């Protein structure tokens, strides 16, 4: 379903026209996510769909349309971001083989997001190279940022 929604113009995923494919995907994803969220309503489960099924705004529970739309947005957003970020990270490792060598030598670096010797490529991937081709590349920091082994400060 996600491929039908994200790549509805590709023949491999099409069911009818691109618009029909996209519509079928959105209906399928929203129906499935709505069903799961409503099963959790009144019986909270600590997950995203549980939060959606029990969400309230100004004392009013979300209606089915709000749950379904948010279900589609979170499903497709997560899938697109994961695909694109993974591919982008691979490209960054190709462009910066010294960072890949550091990671191969010490895989624990992946777990050290806030450690002094963190892996800049993993830390900076999302800000430096956006996950979606629809996002304009660029960086914006709230203050000076130390980046890389050279201890270069970028602001």
State pLDDT tens for residues 59-82.
Answer: 999 999 999 999 999 998 888 777
Cα gap 76→8, rounded to integer Å: 13
CB 85 within 8 A of CB 122: no
Residues 6+ apart with CB under 8 A from 117: 109
Q: Is the entire prediction scored with pTM above 0.75?
A: no
92 vs 17, residue with greater confidence: 17
Cα gap 14→3, rounded to integer Å: 9
Identify the H or E element spanning 146: strand 145-147
State pLDDT tens for residues 12-35.
Answer: 888 889 889 889 999 999 999 999
Phi (first) and psi of residue 152, to 5 degrees: -70, 135
Q: How confident is the model at residue 41 (pLDDT cuts 50, 70, 90)?
A: very high
State pLDDT tens for residues 109-130.
Answer: 776 545 555 555 555 555 555 5
Q: Domain segments of the chain: what residues?
A: 1-94, 96-155
Q: How confident is the model at residue 151 (pLDDT cuts 50, 70, 90)?
A: very low
């Amino acid at each position: 379903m996600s491929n039908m929604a994200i790549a509805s113009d590709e023949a491999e995923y099409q069911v009818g026209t691109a618009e029909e494919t996209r519509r079928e995907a959105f209906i399928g994803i929203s129906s499935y996510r709505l069903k799961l969220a409503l099963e959790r309503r009144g019986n909270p489960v600590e997950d995203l769909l549980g939060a959606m099924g029990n969400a309230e705004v100004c004392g009013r529970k979300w209606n089915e349309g709000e749950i379904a739309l948010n279900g589609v947005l979170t499903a497709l957003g997560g899938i697109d971001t994961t695909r694109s970020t993974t591919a982008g990270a691979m490209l960054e490792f190709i462009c910066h083989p010294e960072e890949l060598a550091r990671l191969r030598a010490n895989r624990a670096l992946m777990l050290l997001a806030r450690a002094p010797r963190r892996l800049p490529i993993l830390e900076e991937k999302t800000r430096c190279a956006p996950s979606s081709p629809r996002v304009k590349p660029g960086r914006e920091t709230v203050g000076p940022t130390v980046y890389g082994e050279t201890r270069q400060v970028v602001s």
